[in-house]
Amino acid sequence: MRKISIYSCLLLGGIMTMTTQVPAAEKYVVGVSNTLVGNGWREEMVCSIKAEALASGKVSKIILANRNGGPSEQIADLRNLISAGVNIIIVNPSDRKALDPVIKQATDRHIVVVAVDQAVDAPTAYVVTNDQTAYGQLGAEALFKKLGGKGDVVEMRGIDGVPADADRHEGFTEALKKYPDIKVVASVFTGWSPDKGAQETKNLISSGKQIDGIWTSGIDKAVVDAYKTANMKYVPVVGADNNGFMGQEIELKDAGLVGINVTNPPAVGGAGLSIALDVLEGKTAPRVTHLTPKVYDSSMPEGQEWLKSLYDPKVDPNYPVYSPVEPYTHYTIEQEKACKGPGE
């Protein structure tokens, strides 16, 4: 028997049991909700979704709700996507719990909702994230070991209240328990903004506090730039797989910069779409998928080899390096860089 789409059911106006599948001849409409514009990581996350949609051949259109905002703005955007008749919603959530009711509204309409990058509590949503708690813990442990288990460090966080920041702080705090001689002399929020991160670093340098190492939630290049401008001796910096920071680690290695990279690929967005497409086609998928971060030390030969294999001087320094996530994504790096979805 031919399976019918949600649109057909709505047109019929009847109350009936529906499948989440649509006919093979049809393609899916994908909604994307992002509430942090101008952030390189988020921009590349959107590009990975577009690239996966194009590579899959199963998506007819992407509707992007893209603006700066918090939970109330995102709830409004999600309601608009539901009204637009999407089959899939990929959401980078601004809050772990606040979106749960609107997510339920979507899944009650047989829309597959996948939270990427950050988790939500909604039981009907799928969650695909880089393991943010591990990001915090693994990077902190690597820094504390680099300092020989003692010293004064700074924790530079992301956006207060969002799930990824809370998870990373939890991991950072867990690592601290194993190193009683490590002292946190400052903990600041950067909003994941390079300008804010640079200003906070300048303030810390001006404060005269002893700083032996800095853990960042991804605002790494801005920290190094501030130290370079102030002509200060570099301290070990924990960052992510960001293109500009990785270039600095190569260029400034002989000047004494030691970087610790914790991978946090934005291609998790494309991975989320890939899983959503599997769900729509009746394949089994886990409710929660965590991608485990890897850690690289720029002072080690293998760290430099990794940096040089991915760093691209043509890519915006505030963007992460382009790196698909196997086995979930199916596009090429060139398709991700082109950032073109179906019909664009």
Domain CATH for 77: 3.40.50.2300
Confirm whether 311 is domain-assigned. no
82 and 185 housed in the same domain = no
28 and 56 housed in the same domain = yes
Predicted local distance difference test score (pLDDT) of residue 82: 98
| C-alpha closest to that of 166 among 132, 134, 120 | 132
32 and 84 housed in the same domain = yes
138 and 284 housed in the same domain = no
How many angstroms separate the CA atoms of 164 and 132, rounded?
Answer: 6
Predicted local distance difference test score (pLDDT) of residue 8: 34
Confirm whether 303 is domain-assigned. no
13 and 162 housed in the same domain = no
For 10, phi and psi rounded to 5 degrees? -70, -35
Residues of the chain with pLDDT under 70: 1-26
If one counts the domains in the chain, the total is 2
126 and 88 housed in the same domain = yes
- Surface-to-core class of residue 322, CB atoms within 10 Å of its CB (0-12 exposed, 13-18 middle, 19+ buried): buried
| Domain, as residue range, for 213 | 132-262
Other CB atoms within 10 Å distance of the CB of residue 87:
26
What is the per-residue pLDDT across 239-284, written as a single tens digit (0 to 9) for each? 999 999 999 999 999 999 999 999 999 999 999 999 999 999 999 9
125 and 221 housed in the same domain = no
253 and 140 housed in the same domain = yes
How many angstroms separate the CA atoms of 294 and 100, rounded?
Answer: 31
149 and 114 housed in the same domain = no
13 and 161 housed in the same domain = no
Confirm whether 315 is domain-assigned. no
Predicted local distance difference test score (pLDDT) of residue 20: 42
249 and 157 housed in the same domain = yes
Predicted local distance difference test score (pLDDT) of residue 158: 95
How many angstroms separate the CA atoms of 21 and 266, rounded?
Answer: 28
276 and 258 housed in the same domain = no
| Unique residue bearing structure tokens 């956006």 | 159
Predicted local distance difference test score (pLDDT) of residue 25: 46
Q: With H, G, I as helix, E, B as strand and everything else as coil, classify residue 136.
A: helix
Confirm whether 299 is domain-assigned. no
Confirm whether 136 is domain-assigned. yes
